[in-house]
Amino acid sequence: MAERNPLVIANWKLNGGIDLLCTSVAAFIGKHFETDIAICPPYIYMRDMLNFLQHSEIIVGSQNISKYASGAYTGETSAKMVKQAGGGLCLIGHSERRQMFGESNASCQIKVNQALEVNLMPILCIGENLQQRDAGVTKDVLFKQLEETLGEIECSGEQLCVAYEPVWAIGTGKAASPDDAQNIHAYIRCQLASIKGEDFAEKVRILYGGSVNKDNAADLLKNKDIDGLLVGGASLDAEHFMQICKVADAN
Ligand code: 13P
């Protein structure tokens, strides 16, 4: 069976300033973790964080990338720019971008390709909203997101991650239960096997996100198809984020 090293990502969203962000990860400097740990600050802070964290193992990533490689696209930042700045990964299709900034499966597909082209690891975020969950169409929504985004993409399972973030769990304090999350992750892996093949599905890391905190991280990570966590609010608290990473390491 493929070894999937755990990955914990902090998504700092539109939070700052730089002092708070440095405080959140200062304790990681000089420490070794088996778990892969990444932070996604606002673009403007990426370089500062890379400098601040140069004696740490933390990967710095972006929360988005442009679907364009270059040109007259005011306000955009390309995958290549993120890579050149020292970025190692990028979130794509976060539900906040889908809800508020018109991100679609089609634009996610383009962005995943842009990222892969410059060797930046895409973290494709998928998830159902409350209405879809209540209507019992969660699996249909997830399948469509995976199929429409990854169906035509050529890459191996190690080059990309999927983050399952149920929209109703984001910022609400109501995380999916570990059993429910495991069931959905197993479904995602199974569908990825049908879309991309067994080898891809076996190697791809599937992260859970949505109200992760230091108290629920261990129970989530115990499950065989939960390969890591995408953490919002709790990642801004230095002690909480360190605890979550320690739990991932002990898993
Ligand atoms: P919370 O952990 O604050 O629920 O946010 C999750 C998220 O959106 C991470 O991308």
For residue 26, report the phi and psi dihedrals to the nearest 5 degrees.
-55, -35
Whether the pTM exceeds 0.95: the reply is yes
Which residues form the domain of 146?
A: 7-250
Per-residue pLDDT tens for 94-128?
999 999 999 999 999 999 999 999 999 999 999 99
Per-residue pLDDT tens for 54-73?
999 999 999 999 999 999 99
Give pLDDT, residue 16. Answer: 86
Q: Which of 175, 234, 176, 184 is nearest to 206 (CA)?
A: 184
Q: Please indicate whether residue 185 is annotated as part of the active site.
A: no
Indicate the helix (H) or strand (E) that contains 37: strand 36-40
Give pLDDT, residue 2. Answer: 60
- The atom number, within ligand 1, closest to the CA of 210 reads 4
Which 3 state secondary structure label does DSSP give 10? Answer: strand
- The atom number, within ligand 1, closest to the CA of 169 reads 4
CB count in 10 Å sphere of residue 229: 28
- Residue 190 falls within a domain, yes or no? yes
Residues of the chain under the 50 pLDDT cut: none
CA count, 13 A, side-chain hemisphere, 39: 34
Mutate to test the pocket of ligand 1, among 94, 172, 231 (most ligand atoms within 8 A of CB): 231
- Residue 1 falls within a domain, yes or no? no
Question: If you take atom 9 of ligand 1, which residue's CA is the nearest one?
Answer: 232
- The rounded distance, in Å, linking the Cα atoms of 134 and 43 is 35
Contact 214, 243 (CB under 8 A): yes
Structure tokens at 74: 């005011």
- Residue 176 falls within a domain, yes or no? yes
Q: Indicate if ligand 1 lies below 6 Å from the C-beta of 157.
A: no
- The rounded distance, in Å, linking the Cα atoms of 234 and 12 is 9
pLDDT > 70 fraction of the chain, expressed in percent and rounded: 99
Q: Where are the beta strands (DSSP E) in 58-182?
A: 59-62, 89-92, 121-126, 161-164
Name the domain count of the chain: 1
Q: Which of 96, 165, 185, 240 is catalytic?
A: 165
Residues 6+ apart with CB under 8 A from 140: none
- Residue 210 falls within a domain, yes or no? yes
Domain of 216, CATH number, reads: 3.20.20.70
Give pLDDT, residue 251. Answer: 83
- Residue 2 falls within a domain, yes or no? no
- Residue 36 falls within a domain, yes or no? yes
Read off the DSSP letter of residue 177: P
Question: If you take atom 7 of ligand 1, which residue's CA is the nearest one?
Answer: 232
Nearest-10 crossing angle of helices 105-117, 138-150: 40
